[in-house]
Amino acid sequence: MKVCFSGGSGHSGSVIAALSRLPQVELSGFCKTYDAEKMNAIRHLNLPEYPSLEVMLDTVHPDILVSDGMFCRHTPDAIAALERGIPVFCEKPVSISEEQYNALANVLRAPNAPLFWAMQTSRYMDCFYTARCLVQEGAIGQIRMMNSQKSYQLGTRPAFFSHRDQYGGTIPWVSIHAIDWMLWICGKRCRRVFSSQSSLENRGNGSLEMTAITLMELEGDILAHVNTDYYRPQGAPSHGDDRLRIVGTTGILEVREDQVYLMNDQEDGRSPLPLRHFPRLLFEDFMHALNGGTDCLITPEDSLYSTYVALKAQEAADLGHPILL
């Protein structure tokens, strides 16, 4: 199966990581989505480069498109492939505006639409997969509240991060990870969302928001909150610091430093629990779905819904008031 890349500004590495398990996959080409795009994840593979997405699609006729370019390009590039009958493995956010979202959703609602997945990478991390398994097994009873953290080093970001019409916002780009893992773990829909954000002290990066807070009210009166920042020091031991705390009726579960801690009548929360491991990698699971598999960690509906909630969270921050979903 021939795979082509439109851009390489996000999680294209998840495709490369699965190649040794997918002998049927052939990487067949790439195109940039802006002139200065570095394509670091795939540049070393010496794939043929095409001058545009359209030329690449019409020349190679790939079986799969990986849409991973400048964030404002995810939707139009995905639609260009989907309308040619090509399945799409797309970086999140799959859309950066409501207009883009509606256009993509309309294409995916068509009968026999090709498979479409977002790169919801956190679902395949052992710590978050373990947390979901424990919640499903009743380890903390009924969920009442969730708190999440996404803290990143800023480093040197591509120039388009400084422009909202190309970047889309820190909530859809960073907070969406936590929004997605909370919706996925609890299995509930969002009823109302409110956010606040700030681009002050952003080290000369235009409109880039350095801090953001989102509060979601979910079905069943579950409160879910995520705080996001780009202030993790360069000397920190890792690029990111992801955390999750889930309060249930019979226990509390925490994810920190890629480990899982549980406090209930059987566990005292002091020592990390053994981690569970999902047997397929992210892109391997996409290929499994493409071949008819149904026991996957992502669905096309999930890919759209997490983006929808993140976009509404961004809108709430821009408008300064809560939004009903």
Q: Are residues 314 and 170 in the same domain?
A: yes
Question: Last residue of some domain: 81, 99, 118?
Answer: 118
Q: At what angle do helices 98-108 and 74-82 cross, to 10 degrees?
A: 20
Residue 153: Cβ-neighbour burial (10 angstroms; 0-12, 13-18, 19+): middle
Distance CA 298, CA 184 (A): 9
List 66's β-bridge partners, or say none: 5, 89
Cβ–Cβ < 8 Å for 3, 64: yes
Q: Are residues 240 and 142 in the same domain?
A: yes
Q: Note the pLDDT tens digit of each residue in 258-291.
A: 999 999 999 999 999 999 999 999 999 999 999 9
Q: Are residues 231 and 91 in the same domain?
A: no
Q: What's the pLDDT at 40?
A: 83
Residues spanned by the domain of 90: 2-118
Distance CA 320, CA 107 (A): 31
List 216's β-bridge partners, or say none: 193, 224
Could you tell me the CATH number of the domain that includes residue 30?
3.40.50.720
Looking at the chain, the whole-number percentage of residues with pLDDT higher than 70 is: 100
Residue 101: Cβ-neighbour burial (10 angstroms; 0-12, 13-18, 19+): buried
Q: Note the pLDDT tens digit of each residue in 186-233.
A: 999 999 999 999 999 999 999 999 999 999 999 999 999 999 999 999
Q: Are residues 128 and 113 in the same domain?
A: no
Q: Are residues 165 and 309 in the same domain?
A: yes
Residue 264: Cβ-neighbour burial (10 angstroms; 0-12, 13-18, 19+): middle
Q: Evaluate if residue 66 carries a pLDDT over 90.
A: yes
Domain count, the chain: 2
Sequence-separated contacts (24+) of 321-325 with Cβ below 8 Å: 321/194, 322/192, 322/193, 322/194, 323/192, 323/193, 323/194, 324/191, 324/192, 325/189, 325/190, 325/191, 325/192, 325/193
Distance CA 236, CA 9 (A): 23
Q: Are residues 141 and 106 in the same domain?
A: no
Structure tokens at 286: 């996409």
pTM over cut 0.85: yes
Q: Are residues 99 and 161 in the same domain?
A: no
Q: Note the pLDDT tens digit of each residue in 104-131.
A: 999 999 999 999 999 999 999 999 999 9
Q: Are residues 132 and 237 in the same domain?
A: yes
Q: Count CB-CB contacts under 10 A for residue 230.
A: 23
Residue count (the chain): 325
Question: Last residue of some domain: 100, 118, 136?
Answer: 118
Q: Are residues 56 and 82 in the same domain?
A: yes
Q: Are residues 129 and 228 in the same domain?
A: yes
Mean pLDDT value of segment 140-168: 97
Query: Quick one: which of 176, 171, 129, 148 has its CA closest to 256?
Result: 148
Query: Quick one: which of 278, 288, 277, 279 has its CA closest to 25?
Result: 288
Could you tell me the CATH number of the domain that includes residue 136?
3.30.360.10
Q: Evaluate if residue 9 carries a pLDDT over 90.
A: no
Question: Last residue of some domain: 90, 118, 146?
Answer: 118
Q: Are residues 100 and 128 in the same domain?
A: no
Average pLDDT, the chain: 97
Q: At what angle do helices 300-319 and 176-186 cross, to 10 degrees?
A: 130
Q: Note the pLDDT tens digit of each residue in 19-39.
A: 999 999 999 999 999 999 999
Query: Quick one: which of 72, 69, 71 has its CA closest to 52?
Result: 69
At residue 278, the 3 state secondary structure works out as coil
Cβ–Cβ < 8 Å for 128, 258: no
Q: Are residues 98 and 173 in the same domain?
A: no
